[in-house]
């Protein structure tokens, strides 16, 4: 939307000032309950995952305020070369295009830097806003995984979306142009 960003393990913004992404050490935490819970656990969990190469967490910022998180997790090497993306965003900034931009940024990092082959995003089917994000980006819908993940004590079905490195290679120029490059409106 306002410029390209290269996400690197140090999570230092490298291509635009005022980036919405940073590491846990630089996050300005707010008082929301989800943010407080994330503040306590995210830095430690993210540091361990990053150190062993199994995951990366990125803070999402808007107008200097921490408003969400996107993770690239469960990174598998060997014959799989895959990972999962998870995300959340504060309701006050939902619908501004921050999450599609964040997903494209993380996909760019996953495919171009980490050289993964497949990235998956799984979403509870009733979460229409999260499904809109992946549908806007044209990620491939692979079906519903029944009782896929335990959330708050209940086994929840999930809509399964994925993109492979071959699909990324074909679609990256357009996704980057649509979501990461400055617009000349």
Stated pTM of the model: 0.76
Q: Where are the alpha helices (DSSP H) in the chain?
A: 33-52, 98-108, 128-137, 165-179
Give the model confidence (pLDDT) of 38-71 as tens digits. 555 655 556 666 666 678 988 999 998 899 999 9
Number of separate helices (H) and strands (E) present in the chain: 4, 7
Judge contact between 74 and 121, C-beta under 8 A.
Answer: no
**Phi, psi at 11, each rounded to 5°:** 60, 30
- What's the rounded Cα separation, in Å, for the pair 92 and 86? 19
Q: Report, as ranges of residue numbers, the positions in the chain whose pLDDT lies below 50.
A: 1-37
CATH superfamily for 21-179 is Gcn5-related N-acetyltransferase (GNAT) (3.40.630.30)
Boundaries of every domain in the chain: 21-179
Q: CA 98, CA 101: separation in Å to the nearest integer?
A: 5
Count how many Cα atoms sit within 13 Å of the Cα of residue 61 in the half-sphere of its side chain. Answer: 20
């Amino acid at each position: 939307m306002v410029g390209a960003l290269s996400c690197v393990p140090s999570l230092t913004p490298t291509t635009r000032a005022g980036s919405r992404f940073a590491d846990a050490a630089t996050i300005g935490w707010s008082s929301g309950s989800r943010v407080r819970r994330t503040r306590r656990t995210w830095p430690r969990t993210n540091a361990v995952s990053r150190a062993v190469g199994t995951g990366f967490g990125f803070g999402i910022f808007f107008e200097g305020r921490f408003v969400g998180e996107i993770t690239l997790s469960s990174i598998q090497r060997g014959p799989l070369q895959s990972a999962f993306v998870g995300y959340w965003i504060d309701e006050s900034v939902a619908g501004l295009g921050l999450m599609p931009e964040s997903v494209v940024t993380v996909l760019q990092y996953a495919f171009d830097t980490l050289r993964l082959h497949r990235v998956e995003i799984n979403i509870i089917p009733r979460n229409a806003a999260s499904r809109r994000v992946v549908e806007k980006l044209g990620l491939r819908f692979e079906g519903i995984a029944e009782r896929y993940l335990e959330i708050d004590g209940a086994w929840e079905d999930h809509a399964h979306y994925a993109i492979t490195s071959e699909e990324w290679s074909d679609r990256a120029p357009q996704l980057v142009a649509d979501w990461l490059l400055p617009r000349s409106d």
